[in-house]
């Protein structure tokens, strides 16, 4: 659930905002002092801050500035004076929105939702970005563990995938079968290095046009394998 911190010293206003936001499904906390509000804003995980300008302990200007130095969560600043709002805008403190009191609670809720959605898209796009390795027609999605060869998806077993990815990420470097075995298979597994040969053969059948003349994974006779660039 999304958490909102209201830093507001007028109890009636804070309670009204809290009621409306809770009805919309948000979890809401209230702090009635600027200094304690800032401490909580920095220490705890909130998804959005509603910040009054005139507060005991520390004013909204300073709070907004300090939040921005550490976090980029949305901050909506509110003030009873239209002039103050203009002043804050001019200062470029990094608040995401400004509202003049009195405002309708439903308008506040609408703005909260809009800022939260925008922020989540921003964050979400970062988290969801998959790690991709692309090399000469081979595309490896490390996050989804999927592989495409010239646009066509091919199925790989777990160890085939690990071996191919390792070689593709370290191209132009010759690895012995022993090195590959110790990197891809866990050290406790009792296998022999012939396992590596078998897996290389299977990978080649999936990625090479002609396995007799490999274009990607070269055999360096008497040494091991190398991914060509
Ligand atoms: Ca106030």
pTM of the model: 0.55
What distance in angstroms lies between residue 8's CA and the mean position of ligand 1's atoms? 6
Residue pair 4/28 in contact (Cβ under 8 Å)? The answer is yes
Q: How far apart are CA 37 and CA 209, in angstroms?
A: 64
Check if the beta carbon of residue 82 is closer than 8 Å to that of residue 56: no
Ligand 1 centroid from CA 10, angstroms? 6
CA distance 139 to 143: 12
Q: What is the dihedral of CA 10, 14, 16, 21, to 10 degrees?
A: 170
The pLDDT tens digits of the residues spanning 68-124 come to 888 889 999 999 887 777 777 667 777 888 899 888 999 999 999 999 988 887 776
155 alpha carbon to ligand 1 midpoint, in Å? 62
Question: How many whole angstroms from 102 Cα to the centroid of ligand 1?
Answer: 12
Q: Are 228 and 215 in contact (CB under 8 A)?
A: yes
3-state secondary structure of 95: coil
| Higher per-residue pLDDT: 206 or 72 | 206
| Per-residue pLDDT band at 130 (split at 50, 70, 90) | confident
Ligand 1: centre distance to CA 56 (Å):
8
Protein residues within 5 Å, CB atom, of ion ligand 1? 9, 52, 54
């Amino acid at each position: 659930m999304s958490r909102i911190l209201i830093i507001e010293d007028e109890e009636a206003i804070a309670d009204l905002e809290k009621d409306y936001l809770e009805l919309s499904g948000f979890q809401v906390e209230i702090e009635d002092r600027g200094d304690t509000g800032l401490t909580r804003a920095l220490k705890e995980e909130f998804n959005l801050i509603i910040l009054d300008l005139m507060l005991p302990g520390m004013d909204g200007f300073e709070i907004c500035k300090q939040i921005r130095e550490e976090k980029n969560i949305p901050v909506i600043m509110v003030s009873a004076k239209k002039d103050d709002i203009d002043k804050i805008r001019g200062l470029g403190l990094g608040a995401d929105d400004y509202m003049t009191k009195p405002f309708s609670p439903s308008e506040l809720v609408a703005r909260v939702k809009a800022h939260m959605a925008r922020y989540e898209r921003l964050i979400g796009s970062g988290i969801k970005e998959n790690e991709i390795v692309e090399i000469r027609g081979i595309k490896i999605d490390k996050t989804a563990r999927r592989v495409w060869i010239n646009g066509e998806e091919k199925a790989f077993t777990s160890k085939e995938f690990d071996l191919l990815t390792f070689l593709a990420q370290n191209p132009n470097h010759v690895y012995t079968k022993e090195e590959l075995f110790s990197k891809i298979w866990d050290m406790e597994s009792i296998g022999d290095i012939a396992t590596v040969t078998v897996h290389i053969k299977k990978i080649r059948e999936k990625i090479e046009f002609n396995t007799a003349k490999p274009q990607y994974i070269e055999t360096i006779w008497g040494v091991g394998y190398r991914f060509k660039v």
